[in-house]
Structure 1
Amino acid sequence: MTNVGIVIVSHSPKVAEGAADMVRQMVGEDVRIAWTGGDTAGGLGTNFQAITEAIHRAWSEAGVAILVDLGGAETNSQMAVEMLREDWRDRVVICNAPIVEGAVIAATEASGGASLATVRHIAEEWSR
């Protein structure tokens, strides 16, 4: 079985790495987790190329759910999705959920074999 992959995008590399580490410790290795944070100069920010690379690291035929922290991360994630191969675009979603809690919930659902739509729905519903 192939599980949905998870990408964590934060303006802070430490936040992104910490959230990914928390997910791995809580969910294990059944879900591909990738993270990216910071701008190309090492400061706070995000960039679509790094997000694209993270999507590739977390790629699964079941799809990829992206969790973001702030508006710029969402904008750059949308740009990264638009730049993907056409056959991948429909299998990558950006979840409107808190980055840490959402990532844990999304990965927990994914580890049980849930579909991309279910992973997204549960992450977004749980945060309301």
Structure 2
Amino acid sequence: MNHVGIVLISHSPEIVKGLESLLKQIQENVPLAVAGGTDDNEIGTDVFKIKQAIESVYSEKGVVILFDLGSALINAEMAIEMLENHPNIKIADAPLVEGAYAAVVEAGIGSTLEEVVAAAEAAKNLQKVH
């Protein structure tokens, strides 16, 4: 079964590597790629790292992108423009950790691209302390 792919973008390579490790323990069948830091692994984001991450997990089921801070969104949008022959790419407006967790679980049960995005975005409303 093909699953929706997930790309995690952070200004910090360590943040997405740690999150990738956590998520692979939860659901190892979901295609997952990370793009953290600049091309020389400094703090920041790199459009070509993001493009490569998307390509590495892309299928007809699509790809959901989650990111940490605003400028990562700009580079994600530029990477998507460079991949105009890959139509099924969505950016989730979601917290990186909780959104990625929800997205991986949803993708793991074979959900559609839209359902995976919705699960990630629903994590914005998750009440962690009652």
CA distance in 1, matches of 2:121, 2:47: 23
Cα distance in 2, alignment partners of residues 2 and 41 from structure 1: 33
How big is the shift at 1:36? Answer: 1.0
Find out whether 1:110 has 2:112 as its counterpart. no
Displaced runs of 4 or more, over 2 A: none
Task: Tell me which residue corresponds to 1:99.
Answer: 96
- TM-score, normalised with respect to structure 2: 0.92
Q: Distance in 1 between matches of 2:41 and 2:101?
A: 26
Cα distance in 1 for partners of 2:100, 2:57 equals 13
Q: 1:57 and 1:33 mapped to 2: Cα distance? A: 8
Q: Is it true that 1:46 corresponds to 2:45 in the alignment?
A: yes
Q: How much has 1:46 moved relative to structure 2?
A: 0.4
| 1:24-73 deviations in Å (ceiling 9; x for gaps) | 0111x210000011112321000110000000111122000000000011
In the aligned structure 2, how far is the partner of 1:43 from the partner of 1:6? Answer: 23
CA distance in 1, matches of 2:33, 2:52: 9
* Structure 1 unaligned regions, length at least 5: none
1:63 is the counterpart of 2:49: no
Please state whether the residue corresponding to 1:114 is helix, strand or coil. coil
Of 120, 124, 128, which residue of structure 2 is paired with 1:127? 124
Q: Please state how far the C-alpha of 1:19 moved relative to its aligned partner.
A: 0.9
Alignment-mate amino acid for residue 85 of structure 1: E
User: For this pair of structures, how many residues does the alignment match?
Assistant: 125
Please tell me the root mean square deviation across aligned C-alpha atoms, in Å: 1.0
Aligned-partner SS, 1:34:
strand
Shift of 1:75: 0.7
* 2:95 and 2:123 in contact (8 A); partners too: no
Secondary structure class of the residue paired with 1:127: helix
Cα distance in structure 1, aligned partners of 2:40 and 2:32: 24
- What residue ranges of structure 2 are gaps of 5+ in the alignment? 126-130
CA offset digits 1:75-115 (Å, max 9, x no partner): 100110011033x13x0011011111111110100010100
